[in-house]
Amino acid sequence: MSIWADVLTLGTEVAAHAPIIPADGVVPVLDHLRANGEASRAELAEATRLGRSVLMQRIETLLKSGLLAEDRVGVSTGGRAPRLLRFRADAGHLLVADLGATSTDVALADLSGGILAHHQEPSEIAAGPEAVLGRVEELFDECLAEVGAPPASVWAIGIGVPGPVEFASGRPVSPPIMPGWDGYAVRERFADRGVPVWVDNDVNVMALGELTAGSGRGVDDFVYVKIGTGIGAGIVVDGRIHRGAKGSAGDVGHIHVQAGREVTCRCGMSGCLEAFAGGAALARDAEAAAREGRSPILRALLDTKGFLTAEDVATASKHGDPVSVELITEAGRLIGQMLTGIVNFFNPSLIVIGGGVAGAGDLLLATVRQTIYRRSLPLATRDLTVLRSVLDDRAGVIGAATMAANELFAPAFLPRWLGAGTPAGHA
């Protein structure tokens, strides 16, 4: 087992032979440049409020470590044009995976979350961790080969999984749709790569992706809602993911809604949003309508394929199938009902709707939006925007890369490896 797996599992101090570099000053400088791309020394002094000699020392440390470069000249504001410092996103690579209920996305990213190689394929999370993560390992190697990146250039691994995760240990906790994954040591599974591994719930990871590169850029308080097989939300407060006391914040699929009928959810309770409005619920109701002869289009699709999906319902609704229109409208109304509670409670300025079902058409989004505006308090919706994700299936991998980079450069972690050059060098 690598040093990093030990460290991350046991929380012990690491690599006694590496010099410990103080985080004070280093992290603010890095944070500013990671967020803004480049800046002059004067701009950094203003942004970080560090004293001149401390700032110069920290910049020197970061230049020596290879995390910063100084190869551009800015615009003069009077005297000599300033040299600009920039964050070197190409200093290392991140391997990331976004595991959904029925798909796997794997990518190689730079240290800013820029995607350099990306593979997506259908998969079954229920096949268990050995099968799924074994395939992720193969795809990791394919991504590295595609870009021609040596394994030693990898600095960290970020993984999103479709269930609750105890972030501190990286282990899934009683995930309802992930048989065999409860308590599984995902981090240790990648120990051979010798780099730190971070694992989080996939919806949190997608919300981070939206914050970094999607509709959430520059927005401090927003909610990302994924409508896939199930329904979940990632909550961004003050520009950071809010995980809650035990990491289950945003589990909105099991909020009780008024649907006018009783359906038992996979969690065992009755009346959960997901049991009416998730992708699996839409597919179930569509198949029932097809079998009962209520929709000729769905019947034809079912006869051809042998099963139906939420995407089929969206397609049929676009062709004017009344049953499909009704199913999607009802799903939108119930999702809107849940979000009304969130809006009144949390007062976000933005709600981003993503996931496979959300991408299927405008009707769902329009109904969600209409329900929220009709039912929320006027002050809560005054500046509220409801948008569909523009990142689609890249939100997860971009977010997983952002998560890994944020943790690598966090005050609690950076000092442990900065003196050694790279986090990978120790393995």
- DSSP H or E segment with residue 408: helix 395-408
Closer residue to Zn ion, CB minimum distance, 115 or 265: 265
Cα radius of gyration rounded to whole Å, the chain: 23
Site string for Zn ion, 215-254 (x = CB under 5 A): ---------------------------------------x
263 makes contact with Zn ion (CB under 5 A): no
Position 413: which residue type?
A: F
**45, 116, 267, 387: which one binds Zn ion (CB under 5 A):** 267
In the complex, what is the shortest distance from the CB of residue 265 to Zn ion, in angstroms, rounded to a whole number?
A: 3
Q: For residues 353 and 364, what is the distance between their CA atoms, to the nearest angstrom?
A: 10
Q: For residues 270 and 136, what is the distance between their CA atoms, to the nearest angstrom?
A: 35
In the complex, what is the shortest distance from the CB of residue 274 to Zn ion, in angstroms, rounded to a whole number?
A: 6
- In sequence order, the 6+-apart residues with CB closer than 8 A to the CB of 179 are 126, 128
Q: At what angle do helices 41-48 and 52-65 cross, to 10 degrees?
A: 120
Q: How many CB atoms lie within 10 A of CB 22?
A: 15
Residue 22 DSSP label:
P
**156, 265, 350, 353: which one binds Zn ion (CB under 5 A):** 265
Closer residue to Zn ion, CB minimum distance, 310 or 398: 310
In the complex, what is the shortest distance from the CB of residue 228 to Zn ion, in angstroms, rounded to a whole number?
A: 15
Here the tokens at position 242 are: 């809010």
Site string for Zn ion, 271-290 (x = CB under 5 A): -x------------------
Here the tokens at position 34 are: 């990671």
Q: What is the DSSP string of 174-233?
A: S-TT-TT-TT--HHHHTGGG-S-EEEEEHHHHHHHHHHHHSTTTT-SSEEEEEESSSEEE
Closer residue to Zn ion, CB minimum distance, 3 or 267: 267
In the complex, what is the shortest distance from the CB of residue 272 to Zn ion, in angstroms, rounded to a whole number?
A: 3
Position 302: which residue type?
A: L
In the complex, what is the shortest distance from the CB of residue 276 to Zn ion, in angstroms, rounded to a whole number?
A: 10
Closer residue to Zn ion, CB minimum distance, 33 or 231: 231
In the complex, what is the shortest distance from the CB of residue 205 to Zn ion, in angstroms, rounded to a whole number?
A: 22
Closer residue to Zn ion, CB minimum distance, 62 or 272: 272
The residues that touch Zn ion, with contacts defined as CB under 5 A, are: 254, 265, 267, 269, 272
